[in-house]
A and B are shown apart, each in its own frame.
Chain A
């Protein structure tokens, strides 16, 4: 099973809105609503940002939002801040295989 496809890096300016993409296939993102997004700072454990495509856990800023269209999921960060600079990973439930499949991760730089 190949990893979900994410751009290796993206960059944006403070205050800007930016969208990170995550592309899978018919057996994962295309079929299931169980798409999640995680944020990871260097040397730290990941934290859950979005689950079930567009739900935010308690305590996560409303600046983070998720969506899905076909086989591609997206994470939008509005009002970009320097502290948003981190690695972002998507994941999806997989049909008939391992429970979860992660993307390769996107490094977000806030210029």
Chain B
């Protein structure tokens, strides 16, 4: 089955760290660009970070310098290391697969999301 399954979310205090994981199955993972997209409670979608097939990474201005995206093609997995977390980072974090290998490709497969709550 073609799917993405996120894990690693939870409740964390401001300033702390969290690592999200996304397990992919049913497709050739290393052929595609991958992204993390988040959605705050009652809010819209916000692209957070992405990595293309060649390993080139991109970040939203709001997380640059605090978050690090990585992929392990041998394990068909995507990760998001989140440091110095802020209350405004609270939200549902989706892992998403691109239509193709490039930065600019649309996202055609989404996981169900993992919830991150940053609160003291």
Residues of chain A whose beta carbon lies under 8 Å from any beta carbon of chain B: 1, 3, 32, 34, 36, 38, 40, 45-48, 51-52, 57, 87, 89, 91, 93, 97-105
Asked if B14 CB lies within 8 Å of chain A CBs, one says no
The proximity string for B residues 76-120 relative to A, scoring 1 for CB distances below 8 Å and 0 otherwise, is 000000000000000000100001000111111011110000000
Measured CB to CB, the nearest residue on chain A to B92 is A45
Determine if A100 and B44 form an interchain contact, defined as CB atoms under 8 angstroms apart: no
Contacts of B58 in A (CB 8 A): 97-99
Instruction: Identify which of A47, A93, A98 contacts B60 (C-beta below 8 A).
Output: A98
Instruction: Identify which of B33, B60, B61, B110 contacts A45 (C-beta below 8 A).
Output: B110
How far is A89 from B94 in the complex, measured between Cα atoms in Å?
15
Asked if B35 CB lies within 8 Å of chain A CBs, one says yes
Contacts of B53 in A (CB 8 A): none
B102: min CB distance to chain A, Å: 9
B43: min CB distance to chain A, Å: 9
Determine if A47 and B110 form an interchain contact, defined as CB atoms under 8 angstroms apart: yes
Determine if A102 and B44 form an interchain contact, defined as CB atoms under 8 angstroms apart: yes
Decide yes or no: A38 and B47 within 8 Å by CB, A45-B112, A91-B106, A98-B61 being known contacts: no
B38: min CB distance to chain A, Å: 10
Decide yes or no: A102 and B47 within 8 Å by CB, A45-B111, A51-B99 being known contacts: yes
B90: min CB distance to chain A, Å: 17
